[in-house]
Amino acid sequence: MGRGHGGENPRQDGLPGPHGQRADLQKSYKAKQTQEKDRSKWIITESTHEPIVDKEIWERVQKLREATKRKKTKRGDMGPLNGLLYCYDCGKKLRIQRDVNTKKEYYICSTYASSRTGHRECSMHCTPRHFIEPVILGEIQRVTAFAREREAEFVALVEKNHERAANTELRSMRAELEKAKRRVSELDVIIQKIYEDNVAGRLLNERFDTMYAGYEAEQAQLKSRMAELTSLMDIEKEKGESVNRFLGLVRRYTDVSELTAEIVRIFIDRIVVHHALGYGKARTQQLDIYYNFIGFLKEE
């Protein structure tokens, strides 16, 4: 994986590295040993070949590795899903806890865990680690097999999901954008009016300055939001193309047999955990899995 977006480790065979750099040099063709070339003299050419892993995913996994190196806790292994589980009701992350008696591990809502007993601000949303990890591994295997073996059907399903979600999102954003445009136009008229009143002596300078500053600030905020909405709408329209990026991951990882932190983050953006219903064998719990590039995959 490191070869996809790495390129800083000198190779020992004297050949160009993944980005075209040459780190080692032989003094003569007769010499059997190579001498490492000074780093300042390396020649690096970016993007000389297709990366093994998508750049966004690569950077995400590297951050995970760094965080893992820095965070050595007394609780030991935090599990491959740590940091990806979110409470459906409050939106906060679930954190891992260990039962001192059974030694079993559970993920629970951090809002629930941090609030006082008797005054819980959310419910536990408890999910045992030994339950959720096999479920997530099975879902990754099932979805990637579906994408690999029935690609056309998979693409159609993702596009249908995107279209359904995009239509709702785009309608909402378009309505907000139109409302913002109308208000900006109204403010232009208002600012012109108070300016004329000020010139005519109907509005004192101090009052004019206060009103003008307030309208200008509101207008600037609206224009900023309009630019943000336009950008979001463009992104929403382009989401349909992201399925090819997900398929690229599927083609590269054909045998996902173990749930590791890296594999989870390569395929999954986040997992939303609902409150469990029932007890024992009758217990059920809904998990909404949002995959990288394709989002929540609703199968009918």
Helix (H) or strand (E) holding 24: strand 24-25
272: which DSSP letter?
Answer: E
- The four Cα atoms 26, 30, 31, 35 give a dihedral, to 10 degrees, of 0
Nearest to 233 by CA among 222, 225, 221: 225
The pLDDT assigned to 33 comes to 62
CA distance 298 to 141: 16
How would DSSP label each residue in 34-98? -EEPPGGG----S-SS--SS-HHHHHHHHHHHHHHHH---TT----TTTTTEEETTT-PBEEEEE
The pLDDT assigned to 51 comes to 60
Collapsing DSSP states into helix, strand and coil, what is residue 133?
helix
Mean pLDDT by 10 residues, the chain (300 residues): 39 40 50 65 65 61 55 60 93 89 89 81 89 94 92 86 70 88 94 93 92 94 91 68 81 89 91 91 91 81
The domain spans of the chain are 1-52, 153-243
The pLDDT assigned to 32 comes to 58
The pLDDT assigned to 76 comes to 53
The pLDDT assigned to 94 comes to 94
